[in-house]
Amino acid sequence: MTSLPWTAQLIHLSAAVLLLSSFAMLSQRRILSLVNLYRLQGVVLTVSTLVVAYTSGQNHLYVSAALSLVLKVIMLPWILGYLIRRLNVRWDTEPLLNIPATMLVGILLVVFAFALSQPITRLSTSVASSTLGIAMAVVLLSFLMMITRRKAISQVIGFLAMENGLFFAAMSATHGMPMIVELGVALDVLVGTLILGVFFFQIREQFDSLDLQHLEKLKEE
Amino acid sequence: MIVTSLGVVLAVVLAWLAIGLAGLLAPRSLAWVGHTLFPLGAALGLVLAVFAILALFAVPEARVLPLGLPDLPMHVRLDPLAACFLALIGLTVSGVSLYAAGYFRPGEGAAPGLMCLQYHVFLSSMAMVVLADDAFTFMVAWETMALSSYFLVTTQHRVSEIRSAGFLYLLLAHIGAISLLLCFGVLQGGSWQFTFDAMRVATLSPAWASAAFALALFGFGAKAGLVPMHVWLPEAHPAAPSPVSALMSGVMLKTAVYGFLRVSLDLLPHTQWQWGAVVLVLGGFTGLFGAIFAAVQTDMKRLLAYSSIENIGIIFSGLGLALLYRGMGMASLSALALAASLYHCLNHAQFKSLLFLATGSVLHATGQRNLGKLGGLIHRMPWVAGLALLGTLAMAGLPPLNGFISEWLLLQTFLFSPTLPHNLANMLVPLGAAAFALTFALAAYVLVKFYGVIFLGRSRETSLAQAHDAGWLERIGMGWLAVLCVALGLFPVFVLHALDQVNQSLLGATLGDQVTSWWAVVPFAADRASYSPLVFGAGIAVCVMLTFALVHRLYHGRVRRSDPWDCGFPDQTARMQDTAEGFGQPIRHIFGPFFRIRRLVPTPFDLAPKYNLELADRWWDWLYTPIVRAVEKGAHWVSFLQQGRISLYLVYSFATLLILLAFVL
Amino acid sequence: MTVRFPLLALAQALLAIGLAPMLVGWVDQCRAWLQNRSGAGLLQPYRTLRKLFHKDAVVALGASPLFRASPYIQLGAMALAAAIIPIFGSQPLLAASADTIALVGLFAVARVFTALAGMDIGTAFGTLGARREMLIGFLSEPALLMVFFTASLISHSTLLSTIVATLAHRELAIYPSLAFAGVAFAMVLLAENARVPIDNPSTHLELTMIHEAMVLEYSARHLALIEWASALKLLNFAAIGLALFVPWGLPSPGSGVLAVLAGTAISLLKLGLVGAVLALIETLSAKLRIFRAPEFLATAFLLAVLGLLVHQLLGS
Amino acid sequence: MELWLLLAIPLLGCLTLAAFGARSWAPDANVGFSTATFLASAALTRRVIIEGPLLLGNEQFFVDPFNVFLVALTAFVGWTTAMFSRPYMRIEETHGRVNRQRLRLYHSMYQLFMATMLLALLTNNLGLLWVAMEAATLSTVLLVSLYRTAASIEAAWKYFILCGVGIAQALFGTILLYLAAEKVLGEGGSTALLWTHLNAVKGQLEPGVLSVAFVFLLVGYGTKVGLAPLHNWLPDAHAEGPTPISAVLSGLLLNVALYAVVRCKVLVEGATHSGLAGHLMMGFGLLSVLLAAFFLWRQRDIKRLFGYSSIEHMGIVTFAFGMGGPVANFAALLHMTVHSLTKSAIFFAVGHACQKAGTQVMDDIRGLLVVSPTIGWGLMFGTLAILGMPPFGVFTSEFLIVTTAMREQPWATPILLLALAIAFAAIFRRVQSMVFGETTLKPLPHSPALVPVFAHLGLVLMLGVYIPPALATWYRLAAAMIG
């Protein structure tokens, strides 16, 4: 791999970190550290975006880098932290699927994602093209995390992590989407998080807990 | 524009709609709705009949209406087949509408205006069904017919039985309609033309043609009440107000026959004789089934409903013969069978409507539908009794009335089938004839029970003493139908001459030269079979008169009145008469396997002995209950998908995603 | 086919009507002889009729016009039948106006009116009789039709006169289907005419009677008409049976007056024979329980259908 | 010009009502804004009729036969729903289920929802389409939980999470699409997500990528369409939200999501000539129809019932689009139109019926016809229309779809037959016993708004017997374009 330029190596590194972090999220049960992992992902995204912007010389990528810095490193983690403190939910209860099993499934998912991304990667000319598989893996892993978690808030973190994966995919495979789309997505994510915040309070005041098992009343009997 | 029959017919249809809407102007006024609008509708019915009969002998005419889908405007066409059924509709409706005009009583059921709307929409939709010349128009008219009649059935919607009856009716009608949709989907044969003309020329492989035929048989059979799709009929017909029952039984079922004819003889040019065999078996069984069940009923309208099933069975076995012969290329026999079936449609429309109207009057006068609580009404309501007697004799297939003619023609068709190329068919025809004869004999049994228990004997309830005869409008309405029964019976030659036009247009064959003699029906050669109702009727009349004259001439006419003797049994009560159940007993005894019987017989030591008997239709256990159970089971299983756990839902979409990805990979 | 001797045909019909009671008398006489009694003689039925005609009619209070009209209709129908069936000559008066099916219809008319009249008063026995009569009717009528079908399949015609003509003047051939039909017809005849083993004309034992139960309320001339009608019915059935199964001796359509007279004589002889056989059957067999009657008739029906199938299978 | 108005008015309405939504005149303002929106859409439609398809705002927006009628429909239903919600929400307020603050949220979010719908329909940019869809979810999620009951919050949460996750998949699909497009339309070209451009070059797009992309898009937008087995949010959201919201969810949101799917299908089919997309859609459609039919059987809550019926009808439409061909597409477009009209009308009637009865449990609603004939007949005819009874328009489209299926996909017809029959039985037996029979209901504090119900039914009736030429030509052109 030494033949690769340092930029590409940097991208690969960040991709690896991203993947690692999402595995960590899978296994992590302490919610605050979930938030920290999320912040870490934000940092990684920012860095890699900068790198790609530098190499490809597309200026709007700098903007999206800034966006992700503001949004994913500063704002969202802060909001989440605030919520956690206010609602004081520090620990997630035992996930539906025990950690090792989850890990196993996760690994299978990674393999699957790589296999799937094979034909697509050939297509991409971007320096970071080969990381598309990782991006997809991150998406699937966060999906898995959302499935296995029992607390509303950790589910939401999974949701945000999935969005990270998408962002990384866009950035790595295609040098980011058109600016207007980037902005729209960012806005949606922000608003979404805010609304979720509102929700937590609603759920809390209804069920005085953020445990998802209270939200299983509506069903066909 | 020049006035054509089609133009007039369409005008009548529109006028009916207009009348219906006019009913909403003064929904509660009997004078307006009852004594103005309905007689108007009856008159229009007569107009319709006249022009339809004219159209029978004219060349078919078609027209395109400025409505419908962009690629598929509404086509209408008036050809002999359509004209024949329009005539049926017109003749019957003119009687029933007159009756209905007098039928309304203040403060009963829904507002007359509303009923007027539904009733006339029903009429015009039936006419449109017959006129339609493309699948879309046909289906619209068909479903509108079902819908309007549904609302008429559920007029008394506060009664839960009536609600469930209406539901069952609409459900089966809708299922039938869907299968008709599929049938037309096959018939249009890949040319995205839904006009009947396009379907006639569309080329179908035999397999596809058979599929279309099967779908049509199912769809129209569900409407006509072929066993086992008959279950709605004995529920819905009694539930409806009597004029509506009369229309549904007398006319609406015939539109199903019409549709079946249109598809099987017109749109599917290449008949396969197996189709005929299937229809023959189905029809024969239906006829027998209906007659047997009619014989054990205790509710007069249910009894008539079952007898409608029986008659539909007879008609369909006739159609089955027509298809069978046509499939074997015996055009003239096929023509005879078709003419016989059509004739029976016509007859059944008249006498069945007549009898339903009679039950309506009885219901009004006594408030009773249960045969066990009626009796002796011939003294209280002589008009209804007299007219009903005519209808009864006609339906029992007694010469010289109309019921006998169609029976006679059908038997001739059975009888003169030559040795057929297929042994199965060879066996089927005589067996069909046997079933047919049995059915007709049973019909006589049923009708003696019907008439005898309602009108003859002594009143089983004291309340019947207040029973009053029908009003004059009702009498005229029923009288018109009775007159038709007699006329159709006495002048079959002209009717057959008219029906021959249908044969000509559908089968390209006619009955042959028998129409030469105006006084006798001769289906084949004069030395093979002939029947002349005029001479026959005259013969009976003369003989009766003569006997009467002679007896009173040679002897005396002295009469003494006294109590009935009855083997000297002293104190007779009305309760000692044979009941409807009693009449059913031998039939239950002979045809036991047909019924599910729950009987409660008292022991000899009962101080207050009670006898209770419930008869049920086995088809519910055999077919419908299992289906419902299956659906409920399926619904139960499916409901496991919606367990309320969000992670489960996420798993669904996750799994879907992965599976699809693996699929495209 | 034109009626060559309308007057003669009319005379034959009237003769049949006139002789009908004597046939009943003859049957009773034979039965009396078979039971070692000396019978009342051939003319006894006529005496009874005369007596009845002279009496005052007693009509029950609840009776409707239907009740009083019914006897006339019954006799009228039977008389018409007598004018359709080739009893003495193969060319009856109204041959062309009605074929076998119409004939069955005619009998049905009579039956239905009898039954309705039986229900009219509203007595226990009347309604019971009506029900039983219709029960027998709805089984015997199709059987009779099937018998006719078998015959008309052979002769390719449903016109009785044509059937007779073909059957009578064919070279002798064995028709197994006709054998079935013959047995079936015999059973139908017994049932339709209320003879033993289905019914017993001379009983008034309430629970067993069928035909008598319906006419319990009738008296005087009405009763007379009914008696006469049933006698005529018996004659008609006998004639039909003869025409279908032993048609020989009936004059052919073209033949002259003498031949017709000769045919009449032969037919009378054959009728007498039938009467004797009937008496024999009635003496030898015991009456069935009413519940067995349907089985008896169902057998007849099945036999007739079998005959039909046999004909279809073996062809003709 | 009309276009900007069309997008600006609801946004303005959103802001204004967010500011003054608590005032007593807020409902009327809501109606006013919706009316203006409808007028703008009418103007746009007129212009399209005159000038034909438009491409505006440096190609970011375009109006073609496929979306113009959807725009008009959306604006119209939005308008009538606003009219309906005016008395409805007043009654809710009198019943004390909502307060002024909530009404403020309700009104502003309602306008925002309309804006996002219209944006999603009008934009030419698949990325913006995604953004708008997500925004639509966000704007309605708080409306679903408007009543703050446990059930409504749960429903809203599920709605949010499931649709959010789904829509995320759609974003991934969009990215892949972009990736494939870049190869053809050049690096970082901002035109690479413009549908018109993609459609022009769809033949050259990389099939492998597009089929993967379509899977993500289908799962993503399909979740919002409510295709089984991704449908689970739908009945809850329909049942627990305020009835006007149920009406617009069923009548509009599902349509728009399906619109997105079909747009993508056009591209994918153009690239991969394998019919893969079509078969996937047919499969999903049939599965949805069948499952929905069985779900319908056991329903006890009336709004859930009609939620499932929406799933069923979306299934039918998806199946028809999957079959493709001029007739099926025509029928599918027609079915989208009549379904949203009919279903919203039904929800209007149902809303008032539930208010009368004070419950959504069907067994407790009886004899509507007796206590208020208009609501009763409205519900009855709406139901008959949605069940495909002529002369209503739903029958027309089902007629075309079923007949086509019989020729094109005979194997599917037994399933359709079964499902339609079960659905009919399941829905009609309930509605019949609600409309008919003796009553147990009480009168309402404010007079119900039933003009919308009968306006919708009238339109549906018209479409059953007569389709205006302009509409017909749009349908035909769109059908041809969808292929």
Interface of B with D in 394-423 (CB under 8 A): none
Of A35, A50, A137, A144, which is closest to residue A92 (Cα–Cα)? Answer: A35
Per-residue confidence (pLDDT) for residue B366, from 0 to 100: 85
* Residues of chain B above pLDDT 90, percent: 34
Q: Residue D300, Cβ neighbours under 10 Å: how many?
A: 14
Chain B residue nearest residue C112, CA to CA: B448
> Phi and psi dihedrals of B561, rounded to 5?
-100, 140
Q: In chain D, what is the greatest distance between 2 CA atoms, to the nearest angstrom?
A: 70
The answer to whether C77 touches C236, Cβ cutoff 8 Å, is: no
Q: Where are the alpha helices (DSSP H) in B396-422?
A: 402-415
Q: From chain D, pick out residues whose CB is under 8 angstroms from the CB of B179.
A: 417
Q: Where are the alpha helices (DSSP H) in chain C?
A: 6-34, 44-54, 65-84, 100-120, 124-155, 160-168, 176-192, 211-214, 220-245, 257-284, 292-314
Q: Residue C204, Cβ neighbours under 10 Å: how many?
A: 12
Per-residue confidence (pLDDT) for residue B378, from 0 to 100: 86
D222/C260 Cα distance (integer angstroms): 95
Q: From chain B, pick out residues whose CB is under 8 angstroms from the CB of A112.
A: 658, 661-662
- For the ranges B351-365, B431-445, D436-450, the lowest mean pLDDT is seen at D436-450
Per-residue confidence (pLDDT) for residue B517, from 0 to 100: 66
Q: Provide the pLDDT confidence category of residue B319 given band limits of 50, 70 and 90.
A: very high
Q: Interhelix angle for B492-507 vs B38-56, to 10°?
A: 60
Q: Provide the pLDDT confidence category of residue D20 given band limits of 50, 70 and 90.
A: confident
Per-residue confidence (pLDDT) for residue C138, from 0 to 100: 85
Distance of CA C93 to the CA centre of its chain: 18
Token code pair at residue D392 = 């209503």
Per-residue confidence (pLDDT) for residue C255, from 0 to 100: 65
* Burial class for A83, CB neighbours closer than 10 Å (0-12, 13-18, 19+): buried
> Phi and psi dihedrals of C218, rounded to 5?
-85, 150
The answer to whether D177 touches D127, Cβ cutoff 8 Å, is: no
Per-residue confidence (pLDDT) for residue C207, from 0 to 100: 65
Which distant-in-sequence residues (6+ apart) come within 8 Å of B528 by Cβ?
B416, B522, C156, C157, C158, C159, C162
Q: Provide the pLDDT confidence category of residue B210 given band limits of 50, 70 and 90.
A: very high
Angle (nearest 5°) at CA C223 between C222 and C225: 65
H or E segment at D453? helix D451-465
**Residue B642 and residue A147: Cβ atoms within 8 Å?**
no
Interface of B with D in 449-478 (CB under 8 A): none
A207 touches chain B (CB under 8 A): no
B178 touches chain D (CB under 8 A): yes
According to DSSP, residue B457 is labeled S
Question: For the residues C136-156, what does the mean pLDDT come to?
Answer: 86
B642/B635 Cα distance (integer angstroms): 11
Of D3, D126, D127, D133, which is closest to residue D68 (Cα–Cα)? Answer: D3
D465/D335 Cα distance (integer angstroms): 14
Token code pair at residue D458 = 């009238």
- Position with higher pLDDT, B26 vs D164: D164
- Position with higher pLDDT, C291 vs D50: D50
Q: Which parts of chain A have pLDDT scores under 70?
A: 1-4, 92-93, 123-129
* Residues of chain B above pLDDT 70, percent: 97
Q: Per DSSP, which regions of D81-129 are E strands?
A: none
- In the block, which residue shows the tokens 């409306």? D143
According to DSSP, residue B250 is labeled I
B316 touches chain C (CB under 8 A): no
Tell me the per-residue pLDDT of C184-236, one tens digit each, with 9 for 90 and over: 998 888 888 888 777 776 766 666 677 778 888 888 888 889 989 989 999 99
Interface of B with A in 606-645 (CB under 8 A): 638-645
Tell me the per-residue pLDDT of B587-602, one tens digit each, with 9 for 90 and over: 888 888 888 888 778 8
Of D194, C81, D78, C72, which is closest to residue B539 (Cα–Cα)? Answer: C81
The answer to whether B455 touches B388, Cβ cutoff 8 Å, is: yes
**Residue D436 and residue B157: Cβ atoms within 8 Å?**
yes
Q: From chain B, pick out residues whose CB is under 8 angstroms from the CB of D411.
A: none
Give me the torsion for CA of B570, B573, B578, B580, rounded to 10°: 180
ipTM score of the complex?
0.89
Q: From chain A, pick out residues whose CB is under 8 angstroms from the CB of D176.
A: 120, 173
CA distance to partner chain C, nearest, from residue B538 (Å): 10
Q: Output the CA–CA distances (angstroms, integers) from residue D482 to A134, B437, D281, D402, in the order listed.
A: 35, 61, 14, 19
C204 touches chain B (CB under 8 A): yes
**Residue D239 and residue A181: Cβ atoms within 8 Å?**
no
- In the block, which residue shows the tokens 């997008």? D7
- In the block, which residue shows the tokens 């953020």? A210
CB pairs below 8 Å between A and D: how many? 131
D432 touches chain B (CB under 8 A): yes
* Burial class for B31, CB neighbours closer than 10 Å (0-12, 13-18, 19+): exposed
Residues of A137-166 as b/e, b for ≥16 C-beta within 10 angstroms? Answer: bbbbbbbbbbbbbbbbbbbbbbbbbbbbbb
Of B221, B347, B323, B227, which is closest to residue B275 (Cα–Cα)? Answer: B323
**Residue B535 and residue C115: Cβ atoms within 8 Å?**
no
Sign of CA dihedral B342, B343, B348, B354: positive
Per-residue confidence (pLDDT) for residue B281, from 0 to 100: 93
Of D204, D183, D197, which is closest to residue A175 (Cα–Cα)? Answer: D183
Q: From chain D, pick out residues whose CB is under 8 angstroms from the CB of A203.
A: 153, 157
Question: For the residues B458-473, what does the mean pLDDT come to?
Answer: 80
Can you give the residue ranges of every domain in chain A?
7-212
B452/B455 Cα distance (integer angstroms): 6
**Residue D172 and residue A155: Cβ atoms within 8 Å?**
no
Question: For the residues D158-170, what does the mean pLDDT come to?
Answer: 91
For A133, the 3-state DSSP assignment is helix
What DSSP assignment string belongs to B254-269? HHHHHHHHIIIIII--
Residues of D21-35 as b/e, b for ≥16 C-beta within 10 angstroms? Answer: beeeebbebbbebbb
Kind of pairing, strands B559-562 and B612-617? unpaired
Of B304, B398, B281, which is closest to residue B355 (Cα–Cα)? Answer: B304
Per-residue confidence (pLDDT) for residue D290, from 0 to 100: 94
D4/D8 Cα distance (integer angstroms): 6
Which distant-in-sequence residues (6+ apart) come within 8 Å of B484 by Cβ?
B91, B95, B350, B402
Tell me the per-residue pLDDT of C27-48, one tens digit each, with 9 for 90 and over: 888 888 888 888 788 888 898 8
For A178, the 3-state DSSP assignment is coil
* Burial class for A43, CB neighbours closer than 10 Å (0-12, 13-18, 19+): middle
Q: Provide the pLDDT confidence category of residue D223 given band limits of 50, 70 and 90.
A: very high
For A16, the 3-state DSSP assignment is helix
The pTM (predicted TM-score) of the whole model is: 0.91
Token code pair at residue D183 = 């190869």
**Residue D179 and residue A146: Cβ atoms within 8 Å?**
no
Tell me the per-residue pLDDT of D420-434, one tens digit each, with 9 for 90 and over: 999 999 999 999 988
Tell me the per-residue pLDDT of B7-18, one tens digit each, with 9 for 90 and over: 899 999 999 999
Tell me the per-residue pLDDT of D349-383, one tens digit each, with 9 for 90 and over: 999 888 888 888 888 888 888 888 888 889 999 99
C205/C289 Cα distance (integer angstroms): 13
